[in-house]
Amino acid sequence: MNFVIAINAAPESATAQQALLFAEAVLKNKHTVSQLFFFGEGVRNLVLSAEAPLAKHWQQLILQHCLDAVACINALQTYRPQTTDQSLEFASVAGMAQLVAASASADRTVTFGVRENTL
């Protein structure tokens, strides 16, 4: 089975940890992950720092399995405006259209995290 996993959870949250464990389980069970898409606060999982130790685990998983990891450009501008493409060594930067395209060819798209309504 082919999965797209979308992560919209802060790295300090239990939800981000669950997303990582889910991705590991999918791969361990011989399924494929065609894309990891990080959006909203989830992009913070891709920035290696002391405040986000989970990023190191994501990096290891992505590199070990040669996964397509994508950071949403709009979310980066909101949550990590000082981040450049060069500081995301193990992920590319793109828009939501890339998530839609990957989901169209996947068997399942699983999202971790929710977007809060700020209205």
What's the count of helices (H) and strands (E) in the chain, helices before strands? 4, 5
Residue 1 pLDDT exceeds 90: yes
Name the token pair of 25.
Answer: 């389980």
Average pLDDT over all residues of the chain: 89
Helix (H, G, I), strand (E, B) or coil at 113: coil
The alpha-helical segments, DSSP class H, found in 1-119 are 14-28, 54-65, 73-79, 96-105
Instruction: Please tell me whether the overall predicted TM-score, pTM, comes out greater than 0.85 for this model.
Output: yes
Name the token pair of 24.
Answer: 């590991």
pLDDT in tens, 35-88: 999 999 999 898 877 666 888 999 999 999 999 999 999 998 887 766 555 457
Cβ neighbors of 60 (< 8 A, separation 6 or more) are: none
Which fold, 2-112? Hypothetical Protein Ychn; Chain: A, (3.40.1260)
Res 52: pLDDT: 67
Q: Regarding predicted confidence, which is higher, 51 or 26?
A: 26
* Residues with active-site annotation: 72
Name the token pair of 19.
Answer: 């997303």
